[in-house]
Amino acid sequence: MMKSEAESFEATDSELLARVQAGEIEAFASLVSRHLPSLRAFTAMKLPVAHLADEVAHETFVFAFRHAQSFDLRHSFRAWLRAIAWNLVRAELLRFAREQVNRSRFRTGATGPAVRRRPGARAQR
């Protein structure tokens, strides 16, 4: 039995997730509509490039949907989403930092791993 859009909006996160866990995947759309604006704002504040915020928000909901069956309905769905998003943000920040280092090294013509020498040490040939 499908619920109307107004009924879905009035339902709690736990009720919607219980419906998702019961196989009513349409209920997840209500959760996305409800949480996307705040989740996107959360990711946008943490990431250096705007399009990454959209990607991470999308990946967060994909992960949540794929793991909805394991979600404990006694806990906060919003907190779970933020924890997923934070883990994805951290991974994206690491990837972004590596990419920036690689671009910088490419521009300067450096190859191989960065090597630090002691001040005054001669290069070995």
Q: Tell me what the mean pLDDT of segment 110-120 comes to.
A: 58
* Selected residue with higher pLDDT from 99 and 23: 23
* Selected residue with higher pLDDT from 39 and 3: 39
Nearest-angstrom CA–CA distance, 13 and 8: 9
Structural domains of the chain in order of their starting residue, each with its CATH number? 5-108 (1.10.1740.10)
Average pLDDT over all residues of the chain: 85
Q: Tell me what the mean pLDDT of segment 91-104 comes to.
A: 83
Q: Output the pTM of the full model.
A: 0.73
- What one-letter code names the amino acid at 112? G
pLDDT tens string 57-79: 999 999 999 999 999 999 999 99
Q: How far is CA 36 from CA 11, 82, 90, 107, 122, in A?
A: 17, 11, 19, 38, 56
Q: Residues of the chain with pLDDT > 90: what percent?
A: 62
Whether residue 1 is predicted with pLDDT greater than 50 in this model: the reply is: no
**Residue 109 has what pLDDT?**
67
* Phi, psi for residue 74 in degrees, rounded to 5: -80, -15
At a CB cut-off of 8 Å and minimum separation 6, what does 8 contact? 16, 27, 29, 30
Nearest-angstrom CA–CA distance, 93 and 75: 28
